[in-house]
Chain A
């Protein structure tokens, strides 16, 4: 029984809940049946102001077209552009500048244009006012070229571009005029506040902003002045530029055409005394006007909305002129191939040149060697003959003398033999002396010389031989390098001679110890002291094989005259310096050349 009662009461409860919930679900169904229609509105003076200005119009539309629910979305320039491209709005209401920009890029259908307030009631209500403080003494736009200015944004039509165009028209370079411009963005009221607070000298604002703000009690009219004022019939706001078409409402791709037709009819029929019209600061709507004048502004400022980045234009051009694109591509490929071909040819000819250079150097080396051999040969053979004659005579006399002694000839017979030998010895001596003076006699020119440079030049001269024989040459320096007066040719001869000797010594060592993995090393070490410069040439060759190598005609080389080191010694003595050569304990030898540091040229010996 009780169970049954419970069942009944449960049923009643369910019914009651169902009955209660019925009107609620009915209202939600009604709301779901009126779809939202999103209207984006450019919020030039902030969201609040935008709502105040446009919500009445939206409400009026909602009233007139109850099937849908119009929703107002305040947007700034960028979000507006985004909204159109992303198709998040059904309708947009924006200023003429953006109308043109967007209209050229997206499929917007213009529905209606705002009409100015009575009494002018034209569709032209957009322009810039160049406002300065009334207290300043600027009279014309020219007076404020380059001064700090405030503007809305680079893309703001009323708040920047129209004035820029006006400056172009007046023959002022807009870049100079706007050399120090600050873009303050939305809300645009900030521009005039900045001007009031003396942060800038002028402000570029959309027309009527100043008047509206004065009316709203935000600013004191007496404190501001508009430069370059234009006569505009019954237009009540001061403006510095011509006027351009007013704000327009457009349908995006998302919006329905049917709805657009209805909206259009309702807006066009809006009476000027309607609250919505008054709130929007207009006297109603007309059919959309021609935007040609705005186009012209963009064209003049090189900002045509269709003007795309250069690469996009190039791509478009390429798509259109494919044959040219291919030709260009083939040309590009050809140029590349040609470039590589040239590079290849260049590297080849470079190789050939290098080989030729190498051969030339080799030939030079051979020539120098054969010349040296020829000189040695010629000098040697004539020297041999010259010295052989007295030697022969001496031998003959001495043998004859010995025979006389053996035969026990008298003393008087033997004396003349020695006289004759004596005179032959003198003859030989004279020959040697003549040769020596011949070799050392050379005109000497002394001049200031950088020893380091001279050594580098010398090594460069011997570079080929060093490289060929695989000799590693190193330079060392202690002290501060100074210049001194030397016989450059003579000193270079000495260096060449000594380094050549060092190479020879290394090569001889290598010949004698072929299996040691020997690396020939030569070190040229300069040591600068207070009044002397010493140059050491150290090698790791065979070392000295003769007790007194600087003596003339002493040589261990089969084709050597034995004059090299003797000449070196003479040259260094002539410099007032020294030439020493000695074996090292370990291996090789060191040749030391020391020079006095002279600062004046003195060609006397």
Chain B
């Protein structure tokens, strides 16, 4: 898992060049894949918001403040994890950030190891979030018939029984079942049930 996380991107957004460069310098030594941005706008423009990763945001920046960037990310349902690193934070600011879903809230200057740990957490969280988003997308792509069959499959009913209940041919059930496994990237019905139950927000 750790290695998987380390392959994910880490972004640093800070208007102060020396802070930005030094952070990148240090985090690279922790073997993160670091990209730096001068401000929030450039960052949002350059990024594929559907990809997982972790962003380290400064609060006080020209153009977009850190909190605004975070809000835009949330609105775009991005799986990116957010860590705040600010020179002048206070308790209300930290509470707001954490309630908005931030992984951590750091004051400058921060101990490198603490920051690295938080980034790892963030990356794991981001990867998880990414999975959830994929399952949700898969569920949304199902037809009504497929959703019915998924429900009955997870209820543990056999193909014959399902065909009887829905008054369709046994063969049709089998085709739909194969499509469901493919859409959720599962090999067996058991794995399908696990993925669906673990990730999907509408799970039973």
Contacts and interface: CB of A to CB of B under 8 A. Distances in A.
Interface in A361-402: 381, 384-385, 388-397, 399-400
Contacts of B191: none
Interface string B17-35: 0110111011011100000
Contact of A403 (B19, B26, B109): B26
B26 A389 contact: no
Contacts of A395: 22, 109-112
Contacts of A424: 18, 22
Nearest to B88: A385
A427 B110 contact: no
A420 interface: yes
Given A384-B87, A400-B112, 10 more contacts: A389-B16, A393-B16, A393-B18, A397-B25, A399-B26, A399-B29, A403-B30, A404-B29, A420-B22, A424-B18
Given A392-B109, A396-B26, A385 B87 contact: yes
A181 B40 CA distance: 117
19 contacts: A381-B88, A385-B88, A388-B87, A389-B16, A389-B19, A391-B108, A392-B108, A393-B19, A394-B22, A395-B22, A395-B109, A396-B19, A396-B25, A400-B26, A400-B112, A403-B26, A407-B29, A420-B18, A420-B22
A393 B26 CA distance: 10
Q: Which of A395, A407, A417 has the most CB of B within 10 A?
A: A395
B26 A397 contact: yes
Interface in B17-62: 18-19, 21-23, 25-26, 28-30, 60
B29 A403 contact: yes
A393 B36 CA distance: 14
Contacts of B23: 396
A388 B109 contact: yes
Contacts of A381: 88
Nearest to A399: B112
A385 B60 CA distance: 10
- Which of A384, A392, A420 has the largest count of B CB atoms less than 10 A from its CB? A392
Contacts of A391: 108-109
B26 A392 contact: no
A418 B109 CA distance: 18
Contacts of A403: 26, 29-30, 112
B109 A400 contact: no
Contact of A388 (B25, B108, B111): B108
B19 A392 contact: yes
Given A403-B29, A427-B18, A396 B112 contact: yes
Nearest to B22: A396
A145 B18 CA distance: 114
A389 B87 contact: yes
B19 to A, nearest CB: 5
A389 B86 CA distance: 10
A382 to B, nearest CB: 9
Contact of B28 (A392, A400, A417): A400
Contacts of B110: 392, 395
Interface in A403-424: 403-404, 407, 417, 420, 423-424
A46 to B, nearest CB: 119
Interface string B100-143: 00000000111111000000000000000000000000000000
Task: Select the residue from A385, A394, A407 with max chain B CB neighbours within 10 A.
Answer: A385
Interface in A399-453: 399-400, 403-404, 407, 417, 420, 423-424, 427
Contacts of B16: 389, 393
A60 B161 CA distance: 186
Contacts of A423: 18
A449 to B, nearest CB: 43
Contact of B22 (A384, A388, A397, A404): A397
Contact of A400 (B18, B25, B60, B111): B25
Contacts of B19: 389, 392-393, 396
Contacts of B88: 381, 384-385, 388
A390 B18 contact: yes
A392 B21 CA distance: 11
A420 to B, nearest CB: 7
Contacts of A400: 22, 25-26, 28-29, 112
A21 to B, nearest CB: 141
A99 B74 CA distance: 131
A407 B87 CA distance: 30
A403 B108 CA distance: 19
A399 B19 CA distance: 13
A390 B29 CA distance: 20
Contacts of A399: 26, 29, 111-113
Given A381-B88, A384-B88, A392 B29 contact: no
Nearest to B17: A393
Contacts of A427: 18
